[in-house]
Structure formats: structure tokens, C-alpha cells
Amino acid sequence: MDAIETFKGIVRKGNADALREFLSANPDFINTKVPWSYGSPKIHQSSPLDYVINAPFHKLTDHADPADFVRVLLAAGSKVGGYNPPGKDTPLHGSVSLSLPRIAEALLDAGADLETTSTYPGIPIGTPLDFAVHFGMEACVDLLVSRGAEIKNLRMAAGSGDLDKTIHLLHDPSLTARDRIDGFRCAVLCGKEETAKVFINRGIDLHAEIDDATVLHHAAWHGSIKGVKLMIDFGASPAKKDPVHGSTPLGWAEYRLQLAGEQFTLNEVVAFLKPLTPTEP
């Protein structure tokens, strides 16, 4: 068995001691590109550190949050900022986007930059906090804020639950309609009821669309059970269909469940929305 397959097997089994022994015998492996794929013919090429971070979501390991692997890789010399060029995702971006707070904590303990930026559609500034609020990763949002991440715009303020800053930024005359609905979306996805209510009290349209979907659709897709319940409590209709696929929030959650499996409380979202969603005639 070659070194790459040995590494993959260790990650699959979740044995941090075995990984430590493997890296001791193969110290240059931290610079190796590890090929992998999931659900499509596309072959990804990742550093061992990025492979471990992607492993839980892409079912490359049987362990939900292999933070011990990350600590072993960092101790062996893996770059905490990753191997991508400037402007691309760092390991911290990846971990907070995939709801891996223990891995994010390990990276921060090793000196990961809180304010490094990456580009991604719909994420205007691109810091790790901007990514975390975009995907509704509440535990990662709270971790980043507790470590001193800067709140640089309305969506970060709303998604992190910073009530005073949310109210202050809502007075910015340069805000667009999209900025407002996006701020509301991030508050809901992150389960921040008080900042979400700020938008409600200012008359936000519960069924306004951003990226061809309502906020309830987005909450369902991302498996935010807190966000879904908030939207229903606020009065959003679970029967509303998106304009592109003609699907309800339940349909979005069911489809994502097929793709991602039992992650991000998608099962809870489906179970909650199913009795509330009218069946097709």
C-alpha cells in the first residue's frame, strides 16, 4: 500500500496515534497532494491538512470532527494558513464553513489569521467570520467572535448576534435591499433571534428572495433547525415555492439530505417542516 492510501486509511479509522507514527516515518508527506472525490467524477487535490478538514462532510472518515488529526498535522509542520495562494480558502475558512468548531479552535490555537480573506460568491468581505455567518454555522460564529474576529458589515453583525452594531449599521444610507435581506438571512441561519427581530420590526418582507429563494428556503437548505423554527414563528409560509425549481423549503431540505446525508440537523428540519407543508394534489 502506498503512502497516500495508508494516510487515507488512517483518516478513515480516526487513529491519531497512527497518524503521528506515519508522519514520523514520512515527514515530507505534509507537502503531498492527496487526490479524492465524492459524488462526482471530479478529482480534488488537497494537502493532508485540507483533506482532513474536508473528510467529515465528504464521508472520508468515520469521525465527525477529527480535531486531533489537525493538531498532529500542525505539530508535524503543516502550514496553519494552508497551501492555497492569497485570496483562496485557508484551513480556517474550510473548517468554519463546514461546522467544525473543534478544528477551527485547533487552527486558532496554532495562530490562524482571523482576518485573512477568500473569495466566494455572495460573501462580500471574505473573512472566516463572513464565511461562517453565510453558511449559518452558529458554533463557529460564536468561536470566532470570542477570539476577537472583527465585525465588518451588517451580515456579520446580525449573524453574530451583535444587537447594537446591527441597529447602528441598519442606519447606513448606502445599504441596498439585498444587504438588508442578506443581513436578515444571516441572523436567521445563525439562530440569532434578537438581531433577526430587528429586521422584523423594521418591516422586512418574510418572503423576499435572495439568490432565488426565501430566507426559509436558505435555512432549510443549510439545516438550520433554529432558523427554520424562527421563520415559522415569524409567520413565513412553508408552502412558498422558489421561482427556479418550484420547490418548497421542505423540498430543499429533502434534496440536501440526499446529497449531504445526516448533517447540519437536516433530519430535524425535514421532520419539522413535513407536517407543516401542504401536500401536492
Reported as a single tens digit per residue, the pLDDT across 243-279 is 999 999 999 999 999 887 777 789 999 999 999 999 8
- Take residue 95 and report the three cell numbers written for it: 473548517
Looking up cell 463572513 gives 130
- pLDDT-derived band at 44, boundaries 50, 70, 90: confident
- Percentage with pLDDT > 70 across the chain: 99
Q: Characterize 159-193 residue by residue with b for buried, 16 or more Cβ atoms within 10 angstroms of its Cβ, and e for exposed.
A: bbbbeebbeebbeeeeeeeebbbbbbbbbbbbbbb
Please count the structural domains in the chain. 2
Domain boundary among 58, 78, 98: 78
In a domain, 99, yes or no: no
| pTM for the structure as a whole | 0.94
Report pLDDT for 88.
Answer: 85
In a domain, 52, yes or no: yes
For the residues 156-184, what does the mean pLDDT come to? 98
In a domain, 192, yes or no: no
Domain boundary among 15, 44, 78: 78
In a domain, 277, yes or no: yes
State the pairing for strand pair 44-46/34-36.
antiparallel
